[in-house]
Structure 1
C-alpha cells in the first residue's frame, strides 16, 4: 500500500468541502494559541517553511506572513478539494510565495533545506507517525525548527455533564483505534521528537473550551465528520448516530453549557 493510500485508510475525519469548513472553524478557535506558539521562535523572514498536512491552508497563510514575500511556503496535503480552495485563496491574497502541493507526508517531500516545518493534527491519523518525522528531518537544514501540534482526547469536559458529549469522545477514540490511529498521541510528541533525532525539544499544552459558537461548532462538525467511519467500523448504527447528533446539538444550543476541545500538545525541536 502506498503512503497516500495508507494515510487515507487511517483517517477517520471526512475530508472534501465538509472537512475544509470544519478546519476553517477550528483554525479560528486555535489562531491565538498557534500565533503565540510561533512567536516563541526566531523570525522567519526570507526563509523556506513547510506546512505538512496543510488542509485548507489556514495556518499556511499565517506562516506565509511570517516568511514574507521573499520567503517561501510549501504546503503539502492529499486532499485535492482542500488544496483547490487553498490555491484560490492564495490567488485572492496575492500570496504567490505559497505553493500548495498534493502529496503524501510520509513519502519524500517536494522541498529541502527548510528552516521551519509545521505539522498540526496529522500524526494522530497516521499508523506510522514516525515516518513523517523522518521525512521532516530529511527536508530540514541544520538548525531548522520543527513545530508539532496534536490532540490528546483524554481530559475532555463539559458543564453540565452530558452523556451525548462523552459518547461522542468515546466513539472518536474507538474509531481511531480501529483504523490504527492514535487519539492520545499528544502526550507522546516530545518523546517522539527526541527519538526522531531532534535536539532542544520542548513542549506545552493548551485546551480551548467555552460557550462560544465556534468552540461548540467544532464539536458538532467533528461528530458529523466521523459518522461514516463510526458506522463503517460498526461502532454505532446510522440511527444511533442521528440520535447522538440531535442530543449533542440540543445540548450545545443551550447558552448555559460549556464544552471543551481535546487537549492540544505543542512540541518543538531543532535539527542538529
Structure 2
C-alpha cells in the first residue's frame, strides 16, 4: 500500500516546497495539495526533482474565500470566473506535471446549478485532456460543507455519465463518503471503474486514520484486493506536529 501526503493539511506550517521534502523524509510515496498558486512552479519542480515524488493533484480556486465561497463551477452566472479558475489550474498543473485537478463545485443547488457544473466540467475535461490530466469531482459532506452542490457518490456518478469524458473521474474521500453514505467496502468495489483518486481520514474528527469509527486496516485491504494500485491520499488534520501523527503509516502500509 502506497500513500500520498496531502499538504493542504500535513506540514501546513511549512512552505509547500519544504512540505514536499518533509513528506519524502517521512516515507510518503507521493504528494498532493489544495491551492498552490502563490508558489512559483519552479520551486515546486525543484522540490519534486530533489525528492523524486510525484504531485498527484491540486484543486481549482475556491473563489472569494472571505465571502464564503468554496468553488465556482456549479454557480449559475459565474461561468467566466469558473472557467478562469479551471484554466489557471490546468496551466499550473502542466507546469508541475500534476496528474489530477479537483474541480470544486461550490455552494449551489438545483437543476440550473447541475447544468452549470456539467458544462464547466466539459470545459475542464477538454482543456486537460491534451496534457494527460484527469479531472476529479469530489462529494463533500454536509457537516463540514453545508450547502455544497456535490454531496453523494450517486450524484457524482450521474454527472460522470452525463459529461461522458474519459478523463473525468470520482475522487472518493472515505471520510466524506462515510459521513454521508457509509458502506465503504461495497461502495469502493462497485465504483472502482469511476474512481480516479482515493483519500482518507478518521471519522468523525478527520484526524489520523488509526482511530475513530472506520477500520482502515480493513478498508485498505479491500482497496488492495480490488486491484487499485495508486497512492492513497492522507488528507487528515493532524492534532499537533505532523511528524508526531505518523505512527499509523507503517502499521497500515
Please report the TM-score for the alignment, with normalisation by the length of structure 2: 0.33
Bigger helix fraction: 1
Bigger strand fraction: 1
Higher RCO, 1 vs 2 (CA within 8 Å, ≥6 residues apart): 1
